[in-house]
């Protein structure tokens, strides 16, 4: 199972970009947008200072849609991820990770906004977003074709919280077997991805079924995969899979990998010494190669596992404070593994 956003591309959220693309399309109008859409680069806004009135209309429309969701996620998503006291308060408020809880507001805003235009327009805009970010792509159709050639019986599922148009375009470009995406009735993230996968394969979690999950895990929403899959791989990830899972998990291996973008590979082939994308410093710092066995993990994490088990086995329901402490300990496991 493959995640899409920030996994197939380094640091690119294609579903979010589709929303910004639609804001520009509607704000400038179809004809004017068609003349300037090639100016769009990697930012959220498409500014045409040669036509200030149209630009003002576009910005006003965008702010009307996104001001509240942006502020809400800015507080409980971005600020809470950086400020420990706010994160702890968020756990108490949501009785869970505030970052993942806060995502629901912009996700639902995006899905409602996409309903204001036709599927044909969304598909065309999604294709434009896909092609614009091709230099940042780290997994492509040739990679999956090789996997299929090695294991012909294998099925690839592209599972994303992004909307239908984005995931359909990506699925067609990559040549996957199945796609799962978000709708207004169901945000396809976290445990919802597992639920959708069970609809394809009712033996998810069975040790006899090999399921490999590949994700950037940058917001932690796919960490639950480690509870259900036999192998998980985080790629270009600032928040790798934790190394501690429940005792009934079928997990056998956890991998972390750095995958180069198409642009980075081209620069390396051309002999550039500084071929790595400057964004990696904050998005996905490169790591030295390290292989750890079960015994190695027990030596590094044995004391931590005892603390996790003590919290998890505490009587009564999980409170916000306990959920916060468990999250901190699980994150510490990933840090200690890499130390």
* Least confident range of 24-28, 147-151, 193-197, 204-208: 204-208
The tokens describing 255, both together, are 């991998």
Q: Percentage of the chain surpassing pLDDT 70? A: 97
CA angle 75, 78, 83 (to 5 degrees): 80
Say if residue 202's pLDDT is above 90: no
> What's the sign of the alpha-carbon dihedral 140, 141, 143, 144?
positive
What would the pLDDT profile of 182-197 be if each residue is shown by its tens digit?
Answer: 999 999 999 999 999 9
Is 178 in contact with 155 (CB distance < 8 Å)?
yes
What would the pLDDT profile of 286-323 be if each residue is shown by its tens digit?
Answer: 667 888 888 888 888 888 889 988 888 877 777 888 88
Rounded to 10 degrees, what is the CA torsion of 308, 311, 314, 318? -110
The tokens describing 160, both together, are 């994303």
């Amino acid at each position: 199972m493959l995640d899409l956003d920030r996994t197939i591309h380094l640091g690119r959220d294609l579903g979010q970009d589709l929303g910004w693309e639609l804001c520009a399309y509607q704000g400038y109008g179809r004809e004017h947008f068609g003349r300037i859409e090639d100016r769009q680069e990697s930012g959220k806004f498409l500014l045409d200072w040669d036509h200030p009135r149209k630009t003002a209309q576009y910005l006003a429309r965008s702010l009307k849609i996104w001001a509240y969701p942006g502020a809400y996620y800015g507080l409980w998503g971005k600020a809470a991820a950086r400020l420990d006291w706010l994160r702890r308060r968020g756990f108490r408020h949501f009785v869970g990770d505030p970052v993942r809880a806060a995502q629901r507001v912009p996700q639902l805003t995006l899905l409602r906004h996409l309903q204001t235009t036709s599927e044909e327009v969304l598909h065309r805009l999604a294709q434009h977003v896909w092609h614009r970010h091709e230099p940042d792509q780290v997994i492509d159709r040739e990679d999956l074709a090789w996997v299929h050639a090695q294991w012909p019986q294998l099925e690839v599922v592209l599972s994303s919280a992004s909307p239908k148009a984005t995931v359909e375009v990506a699925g067609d470009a990559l040549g996957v077997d199945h796609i799962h995406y978000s709708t207004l009735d169901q945000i396809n993230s976290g445990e919802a991805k597992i639920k959708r996968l069970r609809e394809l394969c009712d033996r998810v979690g069975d040790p006899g079924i090999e399921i490999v999950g590949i994700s950037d895990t940058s917001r932690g929403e796919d960490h639950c995969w480690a509870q259900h899959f036999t192998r998980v791989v985080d790629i270009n990830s600032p928040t790798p899979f934790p190394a501690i899972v429940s005792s009934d998990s079928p997990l056998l291996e956890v991998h972390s990998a750095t995958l180069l973008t198409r642009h980075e590979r081209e620069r390396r082939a051309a002999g550039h010494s500084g071929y790595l994308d400057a964004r990696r410093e904050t998005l996905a710092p490169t790591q030295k190669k390290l292989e750890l066995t079960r015994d190695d993990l027990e030596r590094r994490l044995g004391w931590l596992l005892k603390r996790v088990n003590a919290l998890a086995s505490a009587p009564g329901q999980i409170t916000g404070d306990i959920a916060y402490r468990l999250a901190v300990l699980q994150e510490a496991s990933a840090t200690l593994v890499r130390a």
